[in-house]
């Protein structure tokens, strides 16, 4: 199989940000008098902003309307990113290595404002021909929508693209889209063994993310 493109996830692959999201959401829930629980972060991983803001309203008891919940979390993340972007070591070099060989896209559960800000702060925007937020499609991960849209914007067939993922829902989403999946397990919220078994390649870190690792043998 010949690959035409590579699609990166953002949170957990290029940014060590899952716990930043976790902290911002938990803080907002507690400030608004809701009830946070240990399962909340894993439940929300991969959800689009309309999905997780409704979850926070319906399941965690935040009284604000979902749109206001989403906007407030985004404001907090923007402030934190500008203070210190949680860039994973080797992220820039990994993107540059693969950009030498393939067209790149980014398919993320982050809001559009945070995707654009992160790529600007990382200085990597020029390497991506397309970026997709799950708020721009019908369903968040583990549904394949965000990956299918990334392939559409790149004008490639999904089965000729590889996805770089860290999370359980992300792996399922990329596989459902028909993509080759390269997993770099999230160290804070690792995928279970069943999800990892669905990946085509499992790497320990971005340092191992080379064209040779991504290319089907």
Mean predicted confidence (pLDDT) in 185-199: 93
Instruction: Kindly state the percentage of the chain with pLDDT values over 70.
Output: 100
Q: How many residues does the chain have?
A: 217
> What whole-number distance in Å separates Cα of residue 63 and Cα of residue 99?
44
Residue 155 — very low, low, confident or very high, per pLDDT cuts 50/70/90? very high
Predicted local confidence at residue 46, as pLDDT: 80
**C-alpha of 147 from chain center:** 11
Catalytic residue numbers read: 9, 11
CATH no., domain 5-16+86-214: 3.40.50.1000
Decide if 5-16+86-214 and 18-83 have a common fold: no
What DSSP line would sit under 76-106, residue for residue? HHHHHHHH---BPTTHHHHHHHHHTTSEEEE
CB 144 within 8 A of CB 159: no
Mean predicted confidence (pLDDT) in 54-82: 96
Give the model confidence (pLDDT) of 11-62 as tens digits: 999 999 988 998 999 999 999 999 999 889 888 988 889 999 999 999 999 9
pLDDT averaged over every residue in the chain: 95
Hey, which residues does 106 pair with through a beta bridge? 8, 131
Contact residues for 4 (Cβ-Cβ < 8 A; gap 6+): 102, 103, 154, 156, 157, 160, 161
Which helix (H) or strand (E) segment is 41 a member of? helix 40-44
Residue whose token pair is 């980014």 = 106
> What whole-number distance in Å separates Cα of residue 146 and Cα of residue 99?
20
Contact residues for 73 (Cβ-Cβ < 8 A; gap 6+): 21, 24, 25, 28, 53
Q: Which contacts (CB < 8 Å, 24+ apart) does range 62-71 have?
A: 62/28, 62/29, 62/32, 62/34, 63/32, 63/33, 63/34, 64/32, 69/28, 70/111
Lowest mean per-residue pLDDT among 44-48, 93-97, 170-174, 176-180: 44-48
CA-wise closest residue to 174 among 32, 6, 60: 6
Contact residues for 119 (Cβ-Cβ < 8 A; gap 6+): 106, 125, 128, 131
Q: How far from 41 is each of 45, 203, 205, 208, CA to CA, in Å?
A: 6, 24, 23, 28
Hey, which residues does 133 pair with through a beta bridge? 108
Predicted local confidence at residue 217, as pLDDT: 79
Instruction: Tell me the CATH class for 18-83.
Output: mainly alpha
Domain boundaries, the chain: 5-16+86-214, 18-83
Predicted local confidence at residue 38, as pLDDT: 86
């Amino acid at each position: 199989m010949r690959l035409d493109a590579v699609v990166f996830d953002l949170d957990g692959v290029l940014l060590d940000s899952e716990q930043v999201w976790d902290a911002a959401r938990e803080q907002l829930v507690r400030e608004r008098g809701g009830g946070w629980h240990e399962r909340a972060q894993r439940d929300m991983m991969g959800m689009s902003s309309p999905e997780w803001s409704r979850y926070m309203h319906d399941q965690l008891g935040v009284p604000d309307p979902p749109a206001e919940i989403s906007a407030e979390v985004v404001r907090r993340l923007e402030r934190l990113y500008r203070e210190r972007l949680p860039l994973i070591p080797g992220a820039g070099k990994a993107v540059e290595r693969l950009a030498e060989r393939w067209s790149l896209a980014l398919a993320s559960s982050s809001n559009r404002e945070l995707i654009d800000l992160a790529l600007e702060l990382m200085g990597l925007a020029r390497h991506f021909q397309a970026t997709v937020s799950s708020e721009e499609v019908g369903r968040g991960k583990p549904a394949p929508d965000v990956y299918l849209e990334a392939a559409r914007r790149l004008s490639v067939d999904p089965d000729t693209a590889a996805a770089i993922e860290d999370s359980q829902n992300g792996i399922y989403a990329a596989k459902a889209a028909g993509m080759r999946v390269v997993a770099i397990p999230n160290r804070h919220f690792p995928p279970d063994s069943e999800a990892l078994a669905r990946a085509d390649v499992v790497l320990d870190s971005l340092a191992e993310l080379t064209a040779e690792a991504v290319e089907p043998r």
